[in-house]
Copies of this chain bind each other. A is one copy, B any other.
Amino acid sequence: MAILAFGVTTSHAQEEESPVAEYTEMVESYGAEYAPAFDFFTVSMLWTVIAAGLVFIMHLGFATLEAGLTQSKNTVNILFKNVWIISIGLLTYALLGFNTHYPGAWQIDGWLGIGGPIGDLNADGNDTWGYGGLSLAMTAYGDFIFQAMFAATAATIVSGAVAERVKLSSFMVYSTILVAIGYTVAGSWHWGGGWLSTLGGGDAAFYDFAGSTVVHGFGGAAALAAVIVLGPRKGKYTKDGKIKPILGHSMPLAAIGVFLLFFGWFGFNGGSVLSANPGPLGLVFTTTALAAAAGGIASIFVSWIVLKKPDLSMALNGLLAGLVSITAGADSVSVWSAVFMGAVGGIIVVFSILFFDRIKIDDPVGAISVHGVCGIWGTIAVAFFGGASFMSQLTGVIGVYLFAFIFSLVVFLIIKAVMGVRVSEEEEFGGLDVGEHGQEAYPDFSVSSR
């Protein structure tokens, strides 16, 4: 047992860094009765950063999904936009997002609390167990990085909807404002202690576990406004009222995207448990996976009936629809409710995509339907299956969607007036890759002349 004495070194051990001894001494200095708290904190924090990594990989999922479902002549542009969004999303979240998301002080009580850059979050006891006085099972940096990964998601959702005709520089400005201000303000209403969290005096608070409304709904509603301003792709809707399908160029890329999103969603929902508490963690993984599966199956059969063929795009969007539909209630509904919620989401998404196409809202990847429409369903369903207040859910949905829509509309209209939002017709025809970037995605391969 002598081998266990702290500080005994072997050839591999570096005496100056003895993390276990350091940890043990720290626990001892607080008193042995704190040991379970420290241990739980440590494992919860580990889960938080791993979950942040999983949410990060969703951005690769969005990038490949959007690229796959659009034409090859716009692929470089889409990938570039996704590099931009994750980068600017992380940076602006450090610059003002975090302290706007969790306002230190409200400019307008419960509604607006724009904050400044983060400082040294490892100071003042925020580094480890001091943050939140053990009422949060993560350090301030853990909280930061997990939420920062969420932030860029909203803007990414818009990216897909406006693909193939939006002007790059305009989108860069728009997405920066959306992620830095729009999303974080909406987030503060719910997660920052704002008005959504105090509905009914807090007893009937809006319930949105991981962000069906606050993240996905926000992105979907913002996308709708942007698409309305932007207009459809040239040739998508003919003068005689026909809808011309514009096919995506790579179904493997689309499938890679959806599977990576599914994978990352375990971090998105699972990390939203905000600890490694085994009870909710297992439930959330299970409801998340089953809702996705039910969404996929439902979309497969419904689209098969409606479109008379087994449609892969619909199957893929069905998985995502199931995921969005469970995100608000993943920790508070039963397994079979999750299956039902996912399945309904998978049905909704098929009709929603067809509906928006019919009213000439041109959304190349179905983002408005997947994130926006299923976000409504998922959030409201928590009232039916998870015990939330129906009125609060409705209020939250209306509040967030309206804000996202109007915020996006105003910002996009201003940008349109100042610098334009759409590429020229020639550029749209020739592709944004050559037009904006002077670079093709697949220079080696012949492109079919269609």
A446 to B140, CA, bound (A): 52
Closest to A56 in B: B263
Distance between A163 CB and nearest chain B CB, rounded to angstroms: 14
Bitwise, A1-37 to B at CB < 8 A (1) or not (0) is 1011111111111111111111110011010111111
Q: Is the CB of A445 within 8 A of B443?
A: no
CB proximity of A280 to chain B, nearest CB, Å? 9
Contact with B along A140-173 (1 / 0, CB 8 A): 1111110011000000000000000000100000
Q: For the complex formed by this chain, how many copies does it contain in all?
A: 3
Query: Chain B contacts of A13 at CB under 8 A?
Result: 131-133, 135-136
Distance between Cα atoms of A90 and B338 in the complex (Å)? 13
Considering the complex, which residues of chain A in the window 28-53 have a beta carbon less than 8 Å from any beta carbon of chain B? Answer: 28, 30, 32-50, 52-53
Pairwise interchain contact A137-B266, C-beta atoms closer than 8 A: no
Q: Which residue of B lies closest to A133 (CB)?
A: B8
The contact string, 1 if C-beta is below 8 Å from chain B, for chain A 66-89, is 010001110110011011101111
Give the complex CA separation of A48 and B35 in angstroms. 22
Q: Is A292 an interface residue (CB 8 A)?
A: yes
Stretch of A251-259, A376-384, A386-394, A403-411 with 4 or more beta carbons under 8 angstroms from chain B: A251-259
Q: Is A358 an interface residue (CB 8 A)?
A: no
The verdict on A439 contacting chain B, using a C-beta distance below 8 Å, is yes
Residues of chain B contacted by A132 (CB below 8 angstroms): 8-10, 12-13
Verify if A270 is at the interface (C-beta below 8 Å from B): yes
Please report the C-alpha to C-alpha distance between residue A8 and residue B130 in the assembled complex, in whole angstroms: 10
Decide if A373 is an interface residue (CB 8 Å cutoff): no
Q: Does A367 contact B (CB under 8 A)?
A: no
A37 to B144, CA, bound (A): 28
Are B49 and A281 neighbours in the complex by a CB distance under 8 Å? yes
Q: Determine which of B14, B44, B90, B441 lies in contact with A135 in the assembled complex, contact meaning CB atoms within 8 Å.
A: B14
User: A133 contacts B30, CB within 8 Å?
Assistant: no
Q: How many residues of A contact B (CB 8 A)?
A: 167
Distance, CA A311 to CA B414, complexed state (A): 27
Check if B23 sits within 8 Å of A72, measured CB to CB: no
Query: C-beta contact mask, A254-279 vs B, less than 8 Å → 1, else 0?
Result: 01101110110010001000111111
A5-B133, A250-B441, A450-B443 known; A19 vs B279 contact (CB < 8 Å):
no
Q: Given A19-B277, A133-B6, A448-B444, are A75 and B252 also a contact pair (CB < 8 Å)?
A: yes
A204 part of interface (Cβ distance < 8 Å): no
Residue A199 interfacial (CB < 8 Å)? no
16 pairs across A/B with beta carbons < 8 Å? A4-B129, A4-B134, A5-B133, A12-B136, A13-B135, A35-B39, A45-B278, A53-B266, A72-B445, A86-B293, A121-B286, A141-B283, A144-B286, A145-B289, A442-B445, A444-B447
Closest 9 CB pairs of A and B: A141-B282, A8-B133, A13-B132, A19-B275, A60-B259, A87-B296, A18-B135, A45-B278, A90-B293
Given contacts A18-B136, A46-B47, 15 further A-B contacts (CB under 8 A): A4-B30, A7-B135, A8-B135, A15-B135, A19-B136, A20-B44, A20-B136, A35-B39, A39-B40, A60-B259, A64-B255, A80-B312, A91-B294, A91-B339, A94-B335
